[in-house]
Amino acid sequence: MSLLQIEELHVQIGTQPILRGVELQVPAGQRLALIGPNGAGKSTLFHAITGLAMAQRGRISLDGQSLLGLSTHQIVRRGVGRSFQISQLFASLTVADHLRLACLSALGYHGGRGSGLLHRLTRLGDVRERVQSQLQALELDDVADTPAGQLPYARQRMLELGLALAVDPRLLLLDEPTAGMSRSETTDFVRRIDALARGRTLVLVEHDMPVVFDLADQVAVLHEGRVLICASAQEVQTHEEVRRLYLSRREATC
Ligand SMILES: Nc1ncnc2c1ncn2[C@@H]1O[C@H](COP(=O)(O)OP(=O)(O)O)[C@@H](O)[C@H]1O
Ligand SMILES: [Mg+2]
C-alpha cells in the first residue's frame, strides 16, 4: 500500500476549480518530484494534504488512514512535515529558538498528557538534545543565536527544512526548497536534503531539473489541476504531451 494515496481530489478556491481530480500514489520511501507550470496547483495540493485547503471531493490518506477533515495540527502529528514556498520564519527569533519551539510542539509539551513537573523537566532535556543534534545536522550550529532575519537566504531555507523535520515526519513535503538559490547553494542544499530525507517519503515541488534528477525516483506532472503523468524522470522528459505543453509554453513567451 502507498504511504500517501490521493484519489479523485477536487479543490476549489472561491469559485475557481484548482485541483480537478488529482490521482497520486506515493509508496513508502519513494522520492517524488512534483512539477508543472506556475498556477498548476502544486502548492494547493500541499495545502490540501496538510489541511490548509478544503477538498470538495475525493480522498487523501496516509498509510491507509484518511487525512480529510483533520486539523493541520492533527495531520502533523500523524507524521507529515512540510516547508512552504514563501518563508514562514520570524525575523527576530533566533535559529535555536525556532528549533526549540518546533521541538517543544513536536514533543507535545503543550498537550494534556504528562503535565507533571518531573515529566516536563525530562521533556526539556529531550528538547535541548534534539535542538543540538538538529543544529549540527542542518549545519547551523555556528548561527544558533542569530535572529533568523539576519541569516543569508539559503541558511533561512535550511532552517525551514529543519522546522519541517522537527516532527520526525514519515512524509516530508518540500515546496520549491531551492528556488532563488545560486547553483552552488543549490548543490549544497540538495546534499543536505538527500541526507536528511533518508528513510522518509519525500514529495518535492521543484522546477530545477538537475535537482529533480538528483533527488527524485519518480516525477509527477501537474497540469490544469490533474496529474498528466507519473513516471521516471527519463520517461517524463520524453513524454510527447509533456514536451508539447512545455515547448508550446516556451514558444508563447519568446
Ligand atoms: N488564496 C488564494 N486565493 C485565490 N486564488 C488562489 C489562492 N491560492 C492559489 N490561488 C490560485 O490557484 C491556482 C493554483 O495556485 P498554486 O497552487 O499556488 O499553484 P502552483 O504552486 O502550482 O504555482 C492559481 O491560479 C492561483 O492564482
Ligand atoms: Mg507553488
Residue 138 Cα to ligand 1 middle (Å): 30
Segment 180-198 shows an average pLDDT of 94
Q: What pLDDT score does 254 carry?
A: 33
Q: How far is CA 112 from the centre of its chain?
A: 28
Q: What pLDDT score does 100 carry?
A: 92
Q: What is the pTM of this model?
A: 0.90
> Ligand 1: which of 9, 12, 13, 82 to mutate, most ligand atoms within 8 Å of CB?
13
- Cβ–ligand 1 distance for 40 under 6 Å, the answer yes
- Cβ–ligand 1 distance for 81 under 6 Å, the answer no
Confidence of residue 113 (pLDDT cuts 50, 70, 90): low
- Give the whole-angstrom CA distance, residue 9 versus residue 87: 27
Residue 126 Cα to ligand 2 middle (Å): 35
111 versus 92: the higher-pLDDT residue is 92
Q: What pLDDT score does 121 carry?
A: 63
Q: Which atom of ligand 1 is nearest to the CA of 41?
A: 17
Q: Which atom of ligand 1 is nearest to the CA of 38?
A: 23
With a cut of 60, say whether residue 61 has pLDDT above it. Answer: yes
With a cut of 90, say whether residue 147 has pLDDT above it. Answer: yes
> Ligand 1: which of 9, 16, 18, 245 to mutate, most ligand atoms within 8 Å of CB?
18
Q: Which atom of ligand 1 is nearest to the CA of 46?
A: 17
Residue 130 Cα to ligand 1 middle (Å): 35
- Cβ–ligand 1 distance for 42 under 6 Å, the answer yes
Closest CA to 45 of 242, 225, 230: 225
Helices 117-137 and 95-106, interaxial angle, to 10°?
130
Residue 124 Cα to ligand 2 middle (Å): 36
The SS3 call for residue 25 is strand
- Cβ–ligand 1 distance for 44 under 6 Å, the answer yes
- Cβ–ligand 1 distance for 186 under 6 Å, the answer no
| DSSP secondary structure letter of residue 141 | G
Segment 17-36 shows an average pLDDT of 96
- Give the whole-angstrom CA distance, residue 218 versus residue 171: 15
With a cut of 90, say whether residue 10 has pLDDT above it. Answer: yes
Estimate the share of the chain in helix, then strand, then coil, as percent rounded to the nearest 5.
40, 25, 30
Which architecture does CATH list for 2-88+171-253? 3-Layer(aba) Sandwich (3.40)
Confidence of residue 122 (pLDDT cuts 50, 70, 90): low
Q: Which atom of ligand 1 is nearest to the CA of 14?
A: 4
- Cβ–ligand 1 distance for 36 under 6 Å, the answer yes
